[in-house]
Structure 1
Amino acid sequence: MTRWNLNYMKLRDKLLLMYVLSVFIPIVVTNVVFYQVTTANIRSQKTRDAGVAMNNLRNDLRVTVDQGVALSYSFYADPVFNDRLSRSFGSHFEYIQAYNTYLKGEFSGQLSQGIRWYQVYTNNPTILSSGYIERLTAIVRKTNWYEQFRAYSAPYPALIATDQTLSLVQRLDNLDTGGIEQLVKIDFNMDVIKEHFRNSGFDGSVYLVDPGGQIRFSNDPDIQGSRVGGAYSHIRFPNKTIRFESTYSGINYLEGWSLQGVMDEEIVLREVRKSRSFVIWLACINFVLPSIIIAAMSRSIHVRLVRIVKHMKKVKTQNFQTIPPENARDEIGQLTTEFNRMTETIRNLIDEVYLADIQKKDLELKQQQAQLHALHSQINPHFLFNTLESVRMRSLIKGEKETAKIVHHMAKMFRKSISWNEQHVTVKEELELIDSFLQIQQYRFGEKLQYRIEADSAVMMVQIPKMVILPFVENASIHGIESTAGQGLIQLFLSAEDDHLHICLEDNGIGMSSSRLKELLKYLDQNTDMGEHVGMKNAYSRLRLCYGDSFSFSIRSREGEGTQIRIKLPLNESYIRGE
């Protein structure tokens, strides 16, 4: 039985399957998920907004109540006021004098926006009812607010609700009153409280419920008149409602009071319901348009691909027939153009291009080798001529064997430069040549030049390109030491570390300024003709040709202090003699 494979399907069937899997099903799923997610997000957002509105309303109400609490504690904590309120006055004149001197204006300016009025009650028989001070008579004791207050025994203020009015009642027993009962009743401004409810931003009904579960205030128009004071639990709400509760906890005078919010879920999702028909129409449009577009595009693709396949089968039989050109710029049109170009290229490769490319590569290789040989042949001979002139002059003046020694070293250097036909030499041979050069320079400069050469025995047989160290030593001698006034010292150190040959050349000559050093480094890196430092340029270029990016080269110099050159070459086994 043949195993089903997607590659066995025709292109039109693949496009149809792609449409169903990539357009039809995703659109249906996306619209359903989008509607559900949008509904959940709006519900969640509305819920968060309602919770924030409830918290804001709770805080606003507490601020208003705190205004009354602050005023009640002002009465409670005033010892002079409480003392005079509980004092037994000998005559009405004595009380009136006390009232005018202290009691009358003590708290007259403490009314705030949230407080409508305050009243002080006392059963002191020597006090007259005047201003905000009233006698605590039997009639007052029968009022609803006083009967509710008698149930409270706590020392802090009590929040009392009567006839859609909220009041705060506080016993004034901070000091010994001698058995006289006295208290303060503060009435809140209900217009301010109503304004808090209207501006809360809660999209629903809010109920202020006392510790006994009774409704004391609400913005619900159905909870008016006699229904205020009814039990909150007896109210019947629709099934799909969202409930909110914000309680006052940790506040003794508001302990047990709470705000109950009710919001209809249909109101929350009303905006989403309106967009349902729009989503359905948009989904239908998304189904129809892609169907028409895919049908037209599939025909355009199928016909032209079949034509390309037919011509590709002809190429298999070495029939390089091109496809007739068409005015098309899409990928299939580009594929047709590239197919025609490919068939022509194949013929050209067979006839001409392959052989011509081989000849071109061979020419480039020979040019590179010629460039390397040209670099090897460039030797700066000016120091040899200067030395020969010195030898000639000294030979005329003195008849010393030293001259013969120097001439011997000169001959040795000439022989090395002429006889070195190979591209690489050992470190030992390079150092012997450097030693001969430095002895010649010592002959020229006398005690002015001293030198020191140290090399690990492990690196003596390492192969390096010939004459890549000598030009730097020559430059240190001529340009560094020759121009200095004091005694010059050239030091050369060679060691093997981390599979690399480390070369360090130091001199205490005149050095270079930072600008001059930058120009020298730029000159060494440029692919230009040899200039002033031909020896260094020659050596640096041959190192770059031989090692590419595998070697490192650095120069450090300070004007008047000397120069240090560091070269690091890889220890390739092919460069070691005998291996």
Structure 2
Amino acid sequence: MRKIKNYFNNMKLQSKLVFSFIIAVFIPLLTVGSFLTHELRSNALSETKEQVSSDLERVKKRTAETLEKAIYVSNNLTLDTELKELVNTHYRTIHEVVSAYNNYHKFDEYLKTYQEISNIRVYTKNETMLNNWRFMPENTIHNDFWYRSAKEAHGLIGWYYIPDETKKNRKFLSLVRNINYHDDKTNAVLVIDVNNKHLSDMLSQERTPVMILDDNDYIVVSNRTKFIGKKIDEVVKIDIPPSEWSGTFTGKVDGEKSEVLVDILLPEISSNKVRFVSVIPKKIIMADANRFLLLGFVVIAFSLIIAIMLIYFFSKLLANRFLKLGEQIDTISEGNLTVDIHVDGEDEIGLLSNQVNHMVLNIKELIDQVEKAHIKNNILEKRQQEIKLKMMASQINPHFLFNALESIRMKAHMKGEKEIAGVVKLLGKLMRKSISVTGELITLQSEIELVKCYLDIQKFRYDDRLSYSLNIDPLSENNLIHPLIIQPLVENAVLHGLEDQSHGGNVEITTKMMGEELHVIVSDNGKGISEDKLVSINKVLEKTEDNRGNRIGLVNVHQRLTLTFGDRSGLSIKSNPNSGTKVSFVIPVRGNNHV
């Protein structure tokens, strides 16, 4: 085991990867591929047999339907009183016989109605009747086996492959039935030929040889014409006699091994049966199976070739990279080793470990140097922090500014300047809110309070030149928004919309909840915006990097809205010269976490 381990450790990295692939991939791939191929082949065999069995069952069903027509006609003729009278009448002259024949049309009617039968004839002992190929004397066939079988069948139907002397002795699968006329103590033998062409057309749709046999093992009809008329044991070679055939067995047909399927049909009120034999040559059974087998081997071989090529390429690439890395490390590593990193083996990884030992020493020396430099930097940074603290201590404390404003307000209030005191209080409140703004969300109500402070201060400045109104939907007050979203819009309305107004300037802030959305509108009745300038502003909003002039507030608000809520939440500006300006935006509401 140790020798194997040492041998594996001493192998080149590329050889290791190829060997690992063979062990880890090649064998499982062959195993799984062979198993799947075998299963597919087995499934193909089963499906072929099932298909042929299904085809044979379909042939049996259609044949039964055909034979039912002949049985139906025989039942009607057995009970036909006109036929009974015609067969049992003793005729004195030929004219009487011919007249009786001319008045009886049932045979022709049945032949026209049912394409499944090709001929109907009756054999009788009545010597006063003439042979007109419909009614025939029994003395011509009384020694035939089928005639004797019909006599012994007690009225049951027999199915035989017999010649029809009315059609040049061509053989047909025929229904043979003895009709007993008990009242007259006579009988007649009815023969109905099944249409061979109808049966042949039915079998022609099958791709494998199919045969229909009578009870004497003669092949009545087949989709292979060379089989018709032969006995089945002349076609299918097997040691078992045909009378014992059932189910599925293996035999030879035309010298080729084949699977033979046998099925039986016993029509109603019949004394014998009709058999069906389907032959599936082994080459047909194996065709699909072998195709799957070949396909499986091709896929496995192709997969293995591709895999071998890929593993060879990547293993060679990896090995070359390691060698190159080793060469680069070797060129930059200098000095004596102080830390020993040892890896067993003499492959590329072992070589790399030796180079790492050189690098460790150099890195340790660099760390020592960096630590010394870091100590110096810490001392310098500490000195700089001390200087910054002294500078910060000299700056004006914001609390000092708020306290100073509060003192001014109190002085103004004590001297009766309540208006000035109120404005100073609003200014302090505004500054305190502005300075305390962070990235955290605030309620719409807090933002409106900030806006109200700003407007009250501006109203103090402009007096009756400015008025404002707040239409705040109570349902919207607790919705969370970013700070300083509405205030810049109000500031723009006051500075740009109402700056030149001598009186009657008005700013209106409206909020409304509409379904799952918060709608905010800031409008003024100022000088408005020209069409060209409005186009320019909208372009600037689309190019948020353009923050020139007084539009920086609009751009900032628009960018924060679109980045947070999407393009639909951006600013919408509507204005006409001397008709005021309306700026609006929409925020989707999803509870307290909608942002």
| TM-score normalised per structure 2 | 0.53
Residues 451 and 487 in structure 2, CA contact (< 8 A), matched pair in contact too:
yes
Which shifted more, 142-151 or 194-203?
A: 194-203
Matches within 5 A, 1:171-250: 181-182=187-188, 184-188=190-194, 200-202=206-208, 206=211, 208=213, 210=215, 214-217=216-219, 224=230, 231-233=242-244, 238=251, 242-248=259-265
Residues 471 and 535 in structure 1, CA contact (< 8 A), matched pair in contact too:
no
SS for the counterpart of 2:120 is strand
- Mapped to 2, the partners of 1:61 and 1:535 lie a distance apart of 93
Instruction: Spell out, residue by residue over 1:171-215, the C-alpha distance to the aligned partner (whole angstroms, 9 max, x if none).
Output: 668x99766534531123557757866774325x756364xxx52
Displacement of 1:42 after TM fit? 5.4
Instruction: Specify the alignment match of 2:144 in structure 1.
Output: 143
Letter in 1 for 2:147: Y
Q: Could you list the runs of 5+ residues in structure 2 that have no partner in the other structure?
A: 164-170, 236-240, 337-362, 364-368, 371-416, 439-445, 499-505
- Mapped to 2, the partners of 1:534 and 1:99 lie a distance apart of 117
- Mapped to 1, the partners of 2:487 and 2:290 lie a distance apart of 91
Letter in 1 for 2:194: F
Letter in 1 for 2:42: A
Instruction: Specify the alignment match of 1:424 in structure 2.
Output: 437
**1:541 to 1:187, Cα distance in 2 relative to 1, 3 A:** closer
Matches within 5 A, 1:271-286: none
**1:258 to 1:306, Cα distance in 2 relative to 1, 3 A:** same
**1:149 to 1:299, Cα distance in 2 relative to 1, 3 A:** same
Residues 122 and 134 in structure 2, CA contact (< 8 A), matched pair in contact too:
yes
Residues 472 and 536 in structure 1, CA contact (< 8 A), matched pair in contact too:
yes
Matches within 5 A, 1:367-382: none
**1:318 to 1:432, Cα distance in 2 relative to 1, 3 A:** farther
Instruction: Spell out, residue by residue over 1:23-63, the C-alpha distance to the aligned partner (whole angstroms, 9 max, x if none).
Output: 76467647855774575355345434533553454356446
Instruction: Specify the alignment match of 2:544 in structure 1.
Output: 527
SS for the counterpart of 1:110 is helix
Aligned counterpart for 1:311 among listed residues 303, 325, 328: 328
Instruction: Specify the alignment match of 1:452 in structure 2.
Output: 471
**1:50 to 1:408, Cα distance in 2 relative to 1, 3 A:** same
Instruction: Specify the alignment match of 2:19 in structure 1.
Output: 17
- Mapped to 2, the partners of 1:97 and 1:570 lie a distance apart of 103
| TM-score normalised per structure 1 | 0.54
- Mapped to 2, the partners of 1:126 and 1:422 lie a distance apart of 136
Displacement of 1:160 after TM fit? 3.2
**1:440 to 1:160, Cα distance in 2 relative to 1, 3 A:** farther
- Mapped to 2, the partners of 1:196 and 1:253 lie a distance apart of 23
SS for the counterpart of 1:424 is coil
How much identity, in percent, do the aligned residues show?
15
Displacement of 1:118 after TM fit? 1.9
**1:26 to 1:281, Cα distance in 2 relative to 1, 3 A:** same
Displacement of 1:260 after TM fit? 3.1
Which shifted more, 524-533 or 97-106?
A: 524-533
Letter in 2 for 1:147: R
Counterpart check, 1:537 vs 2:554: yes
Letter in 2 for 1:181: N
Q: Across the two proteins, how many residue pairs are aligned to each other?
A: 476
SS for the counterpart of 2:191 is strand
Instruction: Spell out, residue by residue over 1:258-305, the C-alpha distance to the aligned partner (whole angstroms, 9 max, x if none).
Output: 313354647744898999999999999999999999899977865663
Residues 48 and 285 in structure 2, CA contact (< 8 A), matched pair in contact too:
yes
Q: Could you list the runs of 5+ residues in structure 1 that have no partner in the other structure?
A: 320-345, 352-403, 481-487, 574-579
Instruction: Specify the alignment match of 1:365 in structure 2.
Output: none
- Mapped to 2, the partners of 1:154 and 1:507 lie a distance apart of 109
Displacement of 1:233 after TM fit? 1.9
Matches within 5 A, 1:87-166: 88=89, 91-92=92-93, 93-103=95-105, 106-107=108-109, 110=112, 115-122=117-124, 127-135=129-137, 137=138, 140=141, 142-152=143-153, 158-162=158-162, 165-166=172-173
**1:197 to 1:5, Cα distance in 2 relative to 1, 3 A:** farther
Counterpart check, 1:260 vs 2:310: no
Which shifted more, 288-297 or 299-308?
A: 288-297
Instruction: Specify the alignment match of 1:469 in structure 2.
Output: 486
Displacement of 1:217 after TM fit? 1.8
Displacement of 1:527 after TM fit? 1.1
**1:99 to 1:277, Cα distance in 2 relative to 1, 3 A:** closer
- Mapped to 1, the partners of 2:29 and 2:158 lie a distance apart of 62
Letter in 2 for 1:258: R
Instruction: Spell out, residue by residue over 1:456-514, the C-alpha distance to the aligned partner (whole angstroms, 9 max, x if none).
Output: 99969x99644x3245457889989xxxxxxx99564599xx9xx97744879999xxx
Residues 554 and 565 in structure 1, CA contact (< 8 A), matched pair in contact too:
yes
- Mapped to 2, the partners of 1:99 and 1:535 lie a distance apart of 118
Letter in 1 for 2:213: L
**1:432 to 1:152, Cα distance in 2 relative to 1, 3 A:** farther
Displacement of 1:21 after TM fit? 2.3
Displacement of 1:144 after TM fit? 2.0
Instruction: Specify the alignment match of 1:43 in structure 2.
Output: 45
SS for the counterpart of 1:181 is strand
**1:293 to 1:504, Cα distance in 2 relative to 1, 3 A:** closer
- Mapped to 2, the partners of 1:549 and 1:555 lie a distance apart of 13
